[in-house]
Chains A and B, each alone.
Chain A
Amino acid sequence: MIPKSDVQEAADIIVSVTDMLLGTSKQQVGRAGSDLRAACGDMAVNAKKYIIYNQIAPKLAYCFDQARIAGATFDNFNRIQETLVAEAPISVVAVLMTQSCVCFSLQQMSLVLAATIFTSRDDVESVQAEVNTAFDQAEEVAADEMAQAAYQTLVTLHAAVMFHLYQTAKPLPQMLDFQFAAIRPTLIQSYRLYADASRADELRDENKVVHPAFAPRVGRALSF
């Protein structure tokens, strides 16, 4: 039998994870949001029972899957992963749950990245840095725990994600700084930069221009 205190500690961690998963898509309506709420609610209520009867693994994985399907982002899962890494569980079961949730977060982060369409190389590079930090921590923990299978799969996924990001970044334009002599509408800036006025909205979004008729003369734009 698992000691009661261990079950309680592990269940508390699971409940906090389900809360964070629910928080990733509060605005989500429709079937995806409904499924997520149902899965997380079930997990929060029955976490102890699932731990005691060893039924928690597929249900926990399902919660993470539903969160992604409901629209959770890379940053959402990264935040969950960072929160869990900062936890200091005591019992063996709680440690197991924490590390498993970190792995599920990394799994979902990777799946989100595989489906993400990037627009600039800078975006990819900033994500690369975050991915490296997240995976490095998890790999170190897995190596310390002598969990060979987990370590191997983590390294494989890390490599696959980095390769994917590298492949994605290759054809993308870089972000460059520009500076005009005077304040101009984004329409004119777009025409001057690309000989194509239709990219004015892109400049407005990138530089967070308050009014498109008076765009700041200094900004950033895609190189092509």
Chain B
Amino acid sequence: MASPTTPFQDTASQQSTSASASSGATTILSLQSGIAWRQFLRRASFRGAPFYVETGVRESGRRIVLHEFPKRDVPYAEDMGRRTREITVRGYLIVYPTAGGQSSFPNDPLKQANYITARDNLIEALESTDGAANLQLPLLGVLNAVCSRYRVTEEERFGGYCVFDMTFVEYGQAPNTGTRDSASGVTYAAQTLGTTTQAGITNGLTSAGAINA
């Protein structure tokens, strides 16, 4: 399971990386400002299974609890933290026109005469029990995410084509589950009580007139 150090790598950071990488040479793409964004396009994939993207929607925000008070005009919007990032993607897979059934791109799973393999790979990646994985989207960057729901649609009139409606949520971090070793705490406290009790007996008997050897 790939897990980047930061849960979300922004497109902006990719841009700066690309810009610095291309700072040495000016390309035609960078000169044509109208299409310059295309150089940031990435092929979409989840857990290594590629797919084409029709739409990608990223949602988040702040978890705000609104407090309204009687006899007061001003409310209080309490910030309870960032809302979970959720990405809704409409992706698709489609057959690639090939001459005589032989693809010119034998190593590209999306450019094959048969889209079934790519579809099954994507389904397997979405249903995998391996936990979170990298979700790469064309322009929305990379998110370490899990697929909470997907729907694959195949229509008779669109042969060789299927649509995936997928919902991903960021994986985040598991809460700390470490616990104190409570048994050793009991042992230590019990030993302390034993020592204190023994000292109490010795002092009490001394006060009562015992003969100290």
Chain A bound to chain B: yes
The reply to whether B194 and A61 form a contact with Cβ atoms under 8 Å apart is yes
**What's the nearest-Cβ distance from chain A to residue B107, in Å?**
46
Task: List chain A residues, Cβ under 8 A from B204.
Answer: 92-93, 96
- A134 to B212: give the CA distance in the assembly, Å: 33
A106 at the interface (CB under 8 A from B): yes
A53 at the interface (CB under 8 A from B): yes
Interface string of A128-156 (1 = CB under 8 A from B): 00000000000000000001011001101
The reply to whether B190 and A111 form a contact with Cβ atoms under 8 Å apart is yes
Task: List chain B residues, Cβ under 8 A from A159.
Answer: 189
B211 at the interface (CB under 8 A from A): yes
Task: Give the contacts of A153-201 with B (CB-CB under 8 A).
Answer: 153-154, 156-157, 159-161, 163-164, 167-168
- A150 to B200: give the CA distance in the assembly, Å: 8
The size bracket of the interface on A is: 35 or more
A56-B201, A93-B204 are known contacts. Are A106 and B193 too (CB-CB below 8 A)?
yes
- How many residues of chain B are within 8 Å of chain A by beta carbon? 31
- A54 to B190: give the CA distance in the assembly, Å: 23
**What's the nearest-Cβ distance from chain B to residue A143, in Å?**
14
The reply to whether A54 and B205 form a contact with Cβ atoms under 8 Å apart is yes
A38 at the interface (CB under 8 A from B): no
The reply to whether B186 and A156 form a contact with Cβ atoms under 8 Å apart is no
Task: Give the contacts of B135-193 with A (CB-CB under 8 A).
Answer: 179-180, 182-193
**What's the nearest-Cβ distance from chain A to residue B132, in Å?**
25
B22 at the interface (CB under 8 A from A): no
A57-B198, A164-B186 are known contacts. Are A93 and B205 too (CB-CB below 8 A)?
yes
B197 at the interface (CB under 8 A from A): yes
A55 at the interface (CB under 8 A from B): yes
Task: List chain A residues, Cβ under 8 A from B210.
Answer: 2, 51-54
A6 at the interface (CB under 8 A from B): yes
**What's the nearest-Cβ distance from chain B to residue A186, in Å?**
33
**What's the nearest-Cβ distance from chain B to residue A203, in Å?**
29
Nearest B residue (CB) for A159: B189
The reply to whether B189 and A153 form a contact with Cβ atoms under 8 Å apart is yes
The reply to whether A110 and B196 form a contact with Cβ atoms under 8 Å apart is no
**What's the nearest-Cβ distance from chain B to residue A110, in Å?**
5
**What's the nearest-Cβ distance from chain B to residue A127, in Å?**
13
- A38 to B199: give the CA distance in the assembly, Å: 24
The reply to whether B213 and A54 form a contact with Cβ atoms under 8 Å apart is yes
Task: Give the contacts of B9-36 with A (CB-CB under 8 A).
Answer: none
The reply to whether B186 and A96 form a contact with Cβ atoms under 8 Å apart is no
The reply to whether A157 and B186 form a contact with Cβ atoms under 8 Å apart is yes
The reply to whether A54 and B202 form a contact with Cβ atoms under 8 Å apart is yes
A58 at the interface (CB under 8 A from B): yes
B70 at the interface (CB under 8 A from A): no
A114 at the interface (CB under 8 A from B): yes
The reply to whether A104 and B208 form a contact with Cβ atoms under 8 Å apart is no
Nearest A residue (CB) for B207: A92
- A138 to B17: give the CA distance in the assembly, Å: 69
B39 at the interface (CB under 8 A from A): no
Interface string of A35-70 (1 = CB under 8 A from B): 000000000000000011111111011000000000
The reply to whether B201 and A57 form a contact with Cβ atoms under 8 Å apart is yes
A113 at the interface (CB under 8 A from B): yes
Task: List chain B residues, Cβ under 8 A from A104.
Answer: 194, 197
The reply to whether B182 and A110 form a contact with Cβ atoms under 8 Å apart is no
A2-B210, A103-B197, A104-B194 are known contacts. Are A56 and B187 too (CB-CB below 8 A)?
no
Task: List chain A residues, Cβ under 8 A from B198.
Answer: 57-58, 61
The reply to whether A147 and B185 form a contact with Cβ atoms under 8 Å apart is no
A29 at the interface (CB under 8 A from B): no
Which 7 A-B pairs rank lowest in CB-CB distance, beginning with the nearest?
A164-B182, A54-B210, A57-B201, A57-B198, A157-B189, A114-B186, A160-B189
Chain B residues close to A by CB (< 8 Å): 179-180, 182-194, 196-202, 204-206, 208-213
